[in-house]
């Protein structure tokens, strides 16, 4: 399992910078620059690339609308960014010398914590702090510990699920290459692509369900009080 540990590339003061951190920041910078360039080249007569990007964003918007129709515009930037980041992060391991950040538990934990914080952020933004905190006491304050345990356990499960699946994917590909050599590169490549896309979809969908579920439960509680 040594080959699946993050490599420390350099130290910055007391901080150790691993390949996971560098790869993650590189992906974010590429997304930022690409988004900025794309925004400068938008046209009423879209190019094939712009049409493809609009199709992807449109599909994500439809998926969000199916789960949270009243909050589609509010959730679109976060969910779309999360989905696209996960697709690139999962697939980047296909390039020689690079590893998927999502095979590192620290990266998947950071993503899960981001989802955890986003659930509360969107809830407070939609309902207000007082109304949001009050829903944890519904229908009875006795359930408060169970609400808190649920929040923590699903965050842990979200991180471990993505980490375990991506690490096992790279391990399986490595074992197949060790046994069969390079006689089966195409099946391994297809397996990696399909599994990477599936795991990105699952993580993003669960994040969407958690955020939308929190918003809808708070709205229902608010209406019942009225």
Over the stretch 43-61, which tens digit does the pLDDT of each residue have?
Answer: 888 888 888 888 999 999 9
Q: 10-39: per-residue pLDDT in tens?
A: 777 777 788 888 899 999 999 999 888 888
Return d(Cα 203, Cα 90) in angstroms, integer.
Answer: 11
Residue 100 lies in a domain: yes
Domain that holds residue 174: 55-225
Residue 163 lies in a domain: yes
Any idea how long the chain is? 226
Residue 31 lies in a domain: no
Q: 77-116: per-residue pLDDT in tens?
A: 999 999 999 999 998 887 777 888 998 899 999 999 999 9
Return d(Cα 76, Cα 150) in angstroms, integer.
Answer: 25
Residue 47 lies in a domain: no
pLDDT reported for residue 60: 93
- Name the residue with tokens 């391990």: 171
Structural domain count, the chain: 1
Residue 6 lies in a domain: no
Global pTM value? 0.83
- Check if the beta carbon of residue 192 is closer than 8 Å to that of residue 94: yes
Higher pLDDT, 155 or 99: 155
Residue 123 lies in a domain: yes
- Name the residue with tokens 């808190």: 148
Residue 119 lies in a domain: yes
Residue 39 lies in a domain: no
Longest dimension (CA), the chain: 67
């Amino acid at each position: 399992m040594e080959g699946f540990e993050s490599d420390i590339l350099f130290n910055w003061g007391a901080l150790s910078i691993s390949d996971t951190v560098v790869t993650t920041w590189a992906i974010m910078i590429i997304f930022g620059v690409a988004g900025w360039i794309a925004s400068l080249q938008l046209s009423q007569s879209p190019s094939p690339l712009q049409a493809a990007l609009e199709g992807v964003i449109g599909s994500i918007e439809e998926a969000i609308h199916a789960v949270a129709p009243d909050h589609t515009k509010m959730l679109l930037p976060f969910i779309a960014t999360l989905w696209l980041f996960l697709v690139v992060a999962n697939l980047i391991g296909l390039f020689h010398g690079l590893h998927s950040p999502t095979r590192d538990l620290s990266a998947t934990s950071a993503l899960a914590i981001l989802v955890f914080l986003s659930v509360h952020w969107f809830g407070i933004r939609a309902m207000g702090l007082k109304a949001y905190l009050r829903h944890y006491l519904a229908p009875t304050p006795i359930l408060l510990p169970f609400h808190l345990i649920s929040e923590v356990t699903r965050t842990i499960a979200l991180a471990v699920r993505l980490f375990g699946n991506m690490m096992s994917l790279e391990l399986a590909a490595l074992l197949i290459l060790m046994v069969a050599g390079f006689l089966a590169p195409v099946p391994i490549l297809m397996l990696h692509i399909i599994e990477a896309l599936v795991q990105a979809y699952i993580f993003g969908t669960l994040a969407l369900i958690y955020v939308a579920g929190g918003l809808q439960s708070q709205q229902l509680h608010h209406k019942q009080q009225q």
